[in-house]
Structure 1
Amino acid sequence: MNKTLIAAAVLSLSSSLAHGADYVIDSKGAHASINFKIQHLGYSWLTGRFNDFDGQFSYDADKPEASSISVNIDPASIDTNHAERDKHLRSDDFLHVDKFAEASFVSTKVVKDGDELDVHGNLTLHGVTKPIVIEVEKVGEGKDPWGGYRVGFEGETRIALKDFGIDYDLGPASTHVELELHIEGVRK
């Protein structure tokens, strides 16, 4: 009977090693960022970031299509390095953070595309949920100096402001926002 229990434990352990691991996004250690840029009048780029977010993901290098990710973003944490502009972006002209205090992304599927991953999911912003695709590349993975294990990715996507109910007229060159994501996770 003990041999049966030992065999079951070994099978259980080996099957859990064959599956993906769960990670917490390291936003507290500032090893992750959600950045954006939008054209300013067609002459230059306005850049910024969201300072407060958290999330988690599951990833298996041998089966990346089984991966998933969930991220929560505080839209009031928008930071373009200009206090008056940030105040305007938080207003009802744009993010309307008094009414829409949360934004999020939840993946629905991951498709391997050569060395890249196409992460499909639902972005909720300004009270509107729309499907988007984020093109993702793995940056690296391995043990960290503190005894943990990490994996990191970078990704990008482009969204139309009007798709999320933001219709403030910034001119014809400024209808879309480009998102650039850097995500490093610590294995749980």
Structure 2
Amino acid sequence: MRKSLLAFGLLALLSSNAFAANYVVDTSGAHASINFKIQHLGYSWITGRFNTFDGKFSYDPAKPEAATINVNIDTQSVDSNHAERDKHLRSEDFLYVKKYPNAKFVSTKVESLGGERLKIFGDFSLHGITKPIIIMAEKIGEGKDPWGGYRAGFSGTTRIAMADYGIMTNLGPASTHVELMLNLEGVQQ
């Protein structure tokens, strides 16, 4: 009896993970992006992106709350389409890339909001400080690709206060927060 209970428990454990798939974010094919925007003096938006990053995630459509995500960002790769501004963004006033060359997000919990919508909780590390954030996300789709692989894609947004990460440069009252947009397409491993 004890052996059959143990076998049943093992089978249940294995089957609960049987449909979870591991993905690597497709950065080599430029099928993913990490973008940002911040208000400029309250008059317009300055937009940009990080050109170098990597990541992985695990996802089971039958159990979205079991998903995990891990993304690493090379802060030196900040690109706002303006060389002088990018130099300033890399300085001690903002990202201080010489001291803090990486930013990182690691999920801690995922809630399914119904349909394809997810609320992803996690720890975001930037400028040497780690704080909890929430990413509101949506599954865009999944399926076979033309090269014999299988892909899944998600899009998400979050908003962070620069002061929470020790970035104290005063850009005016309309420019205290940065909006981040993540578009992640992963290739199943």
What TM-score does the superposition give when structure 1 sets the normalisation length? 0.91
Let me know the Cα RMSD of the aligned residues: 1.6
AA paired with 1:36? F
Unaligned segments of structure 1, at least 5 residues: 1-10
- Flag as ranges the 4+ runs of structure 1 deviating above 2 A: 14-19
- Alignment correspondent of 1:74: 74
- Alignment correspondent of 1:45: 45
Is 1:125 matched with 2:126?
yes
Q: Deviation string for 1:133-182 (max 9, x for gaps)? A: 00000000000000000000000010000000000000000000001110
SS at match of 2:164: helix
Q: Distance in 2 between matches of 1:27 and 1:157?
A: 21
Q: Distance in 1 between matches of 2:17 and 2:166?
A: 44
- Alignment correspondent of 1:102: 102
Task: Report matched runs for 1:145-160 at 5 Å.
Answer: 145-160=146-161
- Alignment correspondent of 2:32: 32
% of aligned pairs identical? Answer: 67
Task: Report matched runs for 1:172-187 at 5 Å.
Answer: 172-187=173-188
Is 1:171 matched with 2:172?
yes
SS at match of 1:84: helix
- Alignment correspondent of 1:15: 15
How far did 1:113 drift? 1.2
Provide closer, same or farther for how the CA distance between residues 99 and 17 of structure 1 changes in structure 2, counting only shifts above 3 A: closer
Q: Distance in 2 between matches of 1:27 and 1:131?
A: 25
- Alignment correspondent of 1:60: 60
AA paired with 2:65? E
SS at match of 2:99: coil
How far did 1:17 drift? 6.9
Q: Distance in 1 between matches of 2:55 and 2:17?
A: 23
Q: Distance in 1 between matches of 2:183 and 2:20?
A: 20
SS at match of 2:15: helix
Q: Distance in 2 between matches of 1:164 and 1:97?
A: 14
SS at match of 2:87: helix
Unaligned segments of structure 2, at least 5 residues: 1-10
Is 1:139 matched with 2:129?
no
AA paired with 2:158? T
- Alignment correspondent of 1:90: 90
How many equivalent pairs are there?
Answer: 178
What TM-score does the superposition give when structure 2 sets the normalisation length? 0.91
